[in-house]
Structure 1
């Protein structure tokens, strides 16, 4: 049986590892760095254009989804490279699908941004 202390300690360790992973992504992955910069610009735009609470929620969800899927894409690519370092058609297919998931999320996030900001700009 687990004590409450060990459960709490394990959760805190999990959070520590999750933060470490997020920081590794931001430090080492160019695509996440670019997406993070875009996210900061969109957040600044939210303040400039005084978007509604609902628009903030939708915007932040879109940012979180794109960046999370990019993190998963990076993990999939790292696993694939570890398992099969040289080029292989099946590994390429897996990587393409993971990249496609990021593209879909980013495309829909862009549409959300246009829906929120175009009426405010024009």
Structure 2
């Protein structure tokens, strides 16, 4: 008889495999994710240079996590829309614009956050 815990752990391991595969695909194929990751690395270097506080690190990490999450979801929406309706369609364009707008909200929020973190060090 199969152990329930065994089955549960195998399922979680399989789920983790898919999540890491998805993250790798985004980093490998999406230029916006590559660019934002590079910008994140620059701000990590700035964080070490300016010796930002633990709380500032927490907010910075959260901010870049928000950006990468929003961009990943935006990419997923765009790919799904292109798959469902490859030709231009007004409603598909509207859906893509809304997803892109969500990304804009995330970027503006993180720009404000980074300004609040780094302005005192300048």
Normalising by structure 2, report the TM-score: 0.96
The residue aligned with 1:10 is 11
Name the CA distance, whole Å, in 2 between partners of 1:114 and 1:104. 15
1:78 aligns with 2:96: no
Name the CA distance, whole Å, in 2 between partners of 1:116 and 1:81. 38
The residue aligned with 2:100 is 99
Note the alpha carbon deviations across 1:19-50, whole angstroms, 9 max, x for none: 00001001100110110000000111111100
The residue aligned with 2:91 is 90
The residue aligned with 1:61 is 62
The RMSD of aligned alpha carbons is 1.2
- Inter-CA distance 47–91: structure 2 relative to 1 (3 Å threshold): same
Name the CA distance, whole Å, in 2 between partners of 1:29 and 1:40. 17
Name the CA distance, whole Å, in 2 between partners of 1:93 and 1:9. 40
- Count of residue correspondences: 121
1:119 aligns with 2:108: no
- Aligned structure 1 segments of 4 or more residues deviating by more than 4 angstroms: none
1:1-40 pair list within 5 angstroms:
3-40=4-41
Unaligned runs of 5+ in 1: none
Name the CA distance, whole Å, in 2 between partners of 1:8 and 1:54. 34
SS in 2 for 1:62: helix
Deviation at 1:2, TM superposition (A): 7.2
